[in-house]
A = this chain, B = another copy of it.
Amino acid sequence: MLPIDFITQLHTLLPPERIYTDPVECYSYAYDNSRKIFPPEAVVFPLTIEEIQAITVLCNAHNIPLTPRGRGTGTSGGSLPEKGGVALSLERMVRIIQVDLANRVIVAEPGVLNQEIQEAVKPAGFFWPPDPSSAGFSTIGGNLATSAGGPHAVKYGTTRDHVLGLKAVTGAGIPIKTGCYTTKGVVGYDLTRLLIGSEGTLAIIVEATLKLTPLPEKLGGLVAHYRDSISCAAAIVSIMGISKGPSALEFLDAGALNLIRNRFPDLLPAHSQAMLMIEVDGSQHDISEISQTILAACRNPGLLHAEQTTDTAHLWKARKALSPLLRDIAPKKINEDIVVPVNTLPQFLDQLASLTRHYQIANVNFGHAGNGNIHVNLLIDPDNKEESIRAEKCLNEIFDLVIKLNGTLSGEHGVGSEKRAYIHKEIDPPTLTIMKGIKQLFDPNNILNPGKLFP
């Protein structure tokens, strides 16, 4: 329970319509896409940096946990108020402060949706490259917190590559300004990228200066079907060996294809056991040239069929539907987003198949293969305890395999609470100690999203 004088003081900072303390109202802020539930004891909706600063200072004075939150679309529990306290929702800070097309910059508050950024700049021929599948309903604040990426990261990189500067309030309640407004700048330490991907554990981002990219002139699509995942993975390695590569390269295994077949019966050839959905962009001339090179790279003994395709919208819709489709059949699926070096994908998928066979865990894999970033889904029955234990063991071995192959445990979801038990597999103790020191520097009382990210 929050102390009564804390609540009283909170009410001096914000009008009543921007403070929830009723448990029923607070419950809407108890979960994210990790499906864990931790209700906050209050939810606040600040509108300004000054309000955020005052709230943070107050939480420090009373030692109350404070968990910043966008739209709760994360999958790693990063925005859950795991230790109770106050959820700080940024969903009402939705101003686009400046659209500066001459300098290819947009300045926005953290609650602006990714898609709203795209809509604001698309008519002028620009986009902001980070494209998580949640783009329609996730905020740029959340995208920054996890350094979100998506299918186009293979060509355009992730969030950290497209931010020039930030304003933020540290866990201690101190407002800071990082980076600059220009595309070059080397004055002082790079705090911008230190905050990006820090999952709301260091500071609350209150304003972001985002770098825009010109929209490609045209898009082209290709599909390739394979008799098995391993030959498909071999094609991925070949495609990524091309100098002018794809703007998206998505892999779907047999399990993923079957899910799509159930929902969209006539979309896919019956015999395909693994598929690549490929996008290329540029001028019509680029697209023709790159497509031919990619089609050549697709060819190997396992290839069933590859072709250019003009109407890819329905395919991308099916690809986007995969995560919700998986939820339907396995509400408690374990959804990972591991990354391995691209040329180890054939080995990874082969050994992954051995592991899931050994542990008898249903498994569906798809993802951003051009970055070696695969969503490994372990489908489990929540009522089957014995199976859950097997799945945990299997997951542990999958993570070991990823590290052995020189990969990383998370390409886009982040650590949050879901992966913190495994972070020591990837980050050695001295490096983790430095990270904890940085946490303490920004948030000396450990009130900001406490317990996240660290084991």
Contact = CB atoms under 8 A, between A and B. Distances in A.
A158 interface: yes
A310 interface: no
A409 B185 CA distance: 8
Contact of A435 (B180, B189, B215, B430): B189
Interface string A184-213: 111111110110111000100000000000
A181 B403 CA distance: 10
Contacts of A100: 341, 343
Nearest to A405: B181
A205 B423 CA distance: 23
A408 interface: yes
Interface residues of A, number: 88
B176 A434 contact: yes
Contacts of A154: 183
Contacts of A158: 184, 186
A103 B191 contact: no
A125 B104 CA distance: 30
A442 interface: yes
A52 interface: no
A410 B415 CA distance: 34
A116 interface: no
B184 A411 contact: yes
B194 A342 contact: no
Contacts of A389: none
A190 B434 CA distance: 11
Interface in A401-455: 406-415, 419, 423, 426-428, 430-435, 437-438, 441-442, 453
A371 B184 contact: yes
Contacts of A419: 187
A434 B427 contact: no
B153 A184 contact: yes
A132 to B, nearest CB: 12
A410 B186 contact: yes
A431 B192 CA distance: 11
A366 to B, nearest CB: 15
A112 B153 CA distance: 29
Given A184-B371, A373-B184, A102 B241 contact: yes
A116 to B, nearest CB: 22
Contacts of A428: 176-177
Contacts of A186: 146-147, 158, 197, 408, 410-415
A355 to B, nearest CB: 20
A3 to B, nearest CB: 28
Contacts of A202: 189
A432 B442 CA distance: 13
Nearest to A370: B183
Contact of A190 (B197, B368, B410, B453): B197
Contacts of A278: none
A136 to B, nearest CB: 21
Given A170-B434, A215-B243, A241-B102, A427 B187 contact: yes
A294 B157 CA distance: 26
A189 B198 contact: yes
A372 interface: yes
A340 interface: yes
Interface stretch (A29-37, A82-90, A281-289, A295-303): A281-289
A125 B242 CA distance: 10
Contact of A430 (B176, B339, B412): B176
A102 B342 contact: yes
B430 A368 contact: no
A205 to B, nearest CB: 14
Contacts of A372: 182-184
A10 B365 CA distance: 54
Given A125-B243, A408-B180, A442 B431 contact: no
9 contacts: A147-B186, A174-B434, A176-B430, A186-B410, A186-B415, A187-B426, A190-B193, A214-B245, A217-B243
* In the A-B complex, the 3 residue pairs with the closest CB atoms: A214-B243, A184-B411, A102-B343
